[in-house]
Structure 1
Amino acid sequence: MPKTAPWNPTVLWSKPEAERPGTPLLVLFHGYLANEEDLMGLADYLPSEFTIASVRAPQALGPGYTWFPLMNDADFSVERVVDAVDDVAGWLDSVKDVHSSVSLLGFSMGMAVASTLLRHRPADFAAVVGLSGFVVPAEGNPFFHDDELTAGGVPFFWGRDQADPVIDAPRIEFTHAWLNEHTALTKILYSNMGHGINMQELGHVKEFLTHLVLKG
């Protein structure tokens, strides 16, 4: 179904509009049943040079919002992922030109959003950070341009707990294989973190973004 108007999401910004031009942009995508405030607390632990934009998912559900149905839900489809990410791409087009670069950070389901954006527009992003999340199978959908991504290409940080109780083994195996084949992967495992983010991981993310985006 054709879209009638560009998506205008709710976004929290770390800098006022007048201070954003010329800065690198880091876009945050929250997880299932969360909202745009969920990850904004990370801003204090990330490089201050970035303008950070935390985006609310489009679909209200329970206590928060979701980008698409869970993968084990009956109404999940790759098309639902594509619809959400296509809207994000359109919104990004409206804000990205004033920035020196664009990087992405997604937590849990938000990692699927960030990695799908990368796969849709392989040349657009300086780096991607995925925290306790996963990558979705493309199932031949032409929205995904995986053939334009190669190992050693776009820097991708993937942090997780080996004992994460939420992301199941098949999704982890698929994600690991896909990232190895299509990105310059930095993978770090954290103990006793569960399905979350800890301070050690935030330190590693800050270092990753500093060296690969700000000094890259």
Structure 2
Amino acid sequence: MYNVLWSAPAKNRPGTHLLVMLHGYGTDEHSLAGLFPALPAGITGASLRGTFPVGDSHGWFLLDPYLQSGTAEVLEAAAGVFSWLDRVRAEGSFTGVSLLGFSQGMAMAGTLLRLRPAAFTSVVGLSGFITENELLAMAEPLPEPVPFFWGRDRNDWVINEDAILHTQKWLTENTALTARTYPGMGHAIDREEVRDVSIFLRSYVLPKAQDDVKNKSG
């Protein structure tokens, strides 16, 4: 069971697009709630708390200083998110689902996309990386490139060069990539990036959601 912060009360969620928001290592669901006001109308944000303990805070799976992780732990974390997501979708009437992840949360979002590439309309990755995983790579490239926004500072000291090179290669080969860099931002999210994320979501999520509603009603 996840602790979840919602951007809208339950009565306002039906008929909207669900954006699942995944925080970084050593934080919690409150760290991304500041993005709620920037979400375009028609998109409901759900910021989840990871279940892996990191001191007094949280993450999604164990991460070493080189950003390496065990396949079993990553897949277990993904299974937990899917279990929550399947239940939420069964209970509600969301028009579709997209993902947003910061730092390790981007790695989590990437893993979810790799496991169910047809389940998500778009993905936003902020100051993060894609995990190296030989098991998942066996089924790649993904069958249909999903729109993916990748924002970062080139001088972000947290994400090492090897992780950046792997992430860039994977995103180029598997997604419809929109890549942006923000000098001086560091390992963080700044106002300019938030603006670009909002534009990305309006461009790639809302038209798709409107089409899906028309198709269902037709």
Compute the TM-score of the two structures, normalised by the length of structure 1: 0.90
Select which of 11, 14, 17 maps to 1:21. 14
Secondary structure at 1:27's aligned position in 2? strand
Percent identity between the aligned chains? Answer: 46
Q: What are the equivalent positions in structure 2 for 1:15-54 lying under 5 Å apart?
A: 15-54=8-47
Is 2:52–2:62's contact at 8 Å kept on the other side of the alignment? no
The Cα RMSD (Å) is 1.8
Select which of 182, 185, 204 maps to 1:212. 204
Select which of 50, 56, 68 maps to 1:63. 56
Asked if 1:125 corresponds to 2:82, the answer is no
Match of 1:4 in 2: none
Is 2:67–2:163's contact at 8 Å kept on the other side of the alignment? no
Read off the aligned partner of 2:189 and give its amino acid letter.
I
Q: What are the equivalent positions in structure 2 for 1:191-206 lying under 5 Å apart?
A: 191-206=183-198
Residue ranges of structure 1 left out of the alignment (5+ in a row): 1-7
Match of 1:179 in 2: 171
Summarize deviations over 1:119-139 as a string: whole Å, max 9, x none.
000000000000000000122
Match of 1:113 in 2: 108
Asked if 1:101 corresponds to 2:93, the answer is no
Q: Post-superposition shift, 1:86?
A: 1.0
Q: Distance in 2 between matches of 1:62 and 1:159?
A: 28
Is 1:149–1:183's contact at 8 Å kept on the other side of the alignment? no
Secondary structure at 1:99's aligned position in 2? coil
Secondary structure at 2:20's aligned position in 1? strand
Match of 2:212 in 1: none
Q: Distance in 2 between matches of 1:82 and 1:111?
A: 15
Q: Post-superposition shift, 1:27?
A: 0.7
More deviation, 103-112/87-96: 87-96
User: Across the two proteins, how many residue pairs are aligned to each other?
Assistant: 206
Secondary structure at 1:34's aligned position in 2? coil
Q: Post-superposition shift, 1:72?
A: 3.7
Summarize deviations over 1:27-75 as a string: whole Å, max 9, x none.
1000010001110111111213211100000022213101111144799
Summarize deviations over 1:66-113 as a string: whole Å, max 9, x none.
111114479931211111011101110011242001000000000001
Is 2:29–2:48's contact at 8 Å kept on the other side of the alignment? yes
Q: Post-superposition shift, 1:14?
A: 1.2
Q: Distance in 1 between matches of 2:183 and 2:6?
A: 31
Match of 1:89 in 2: 82
Is 2:68–2:131's contact at 8 Å kept on the other side of the alignment? no
Q: Distance in 1 between matches of 2:193 and 2:141?
A: 30
Match of 1:148 in 2: 142
Q: Distance in 2 between matches of 1:73 and 1:86?
A: 24
Compute the TM-score of the two structures, normalised by the length of structure 2: 0.89
Match of 1:163 in 2: 155
Residue ranges of structure 2 left out of the alignment (5+ in a row): 209-218
Is 2:141–2:173's contact at 8 Å kept on the other side of the alignment? no
Q: Post-superposition shift, 1:175?
A: 0.2
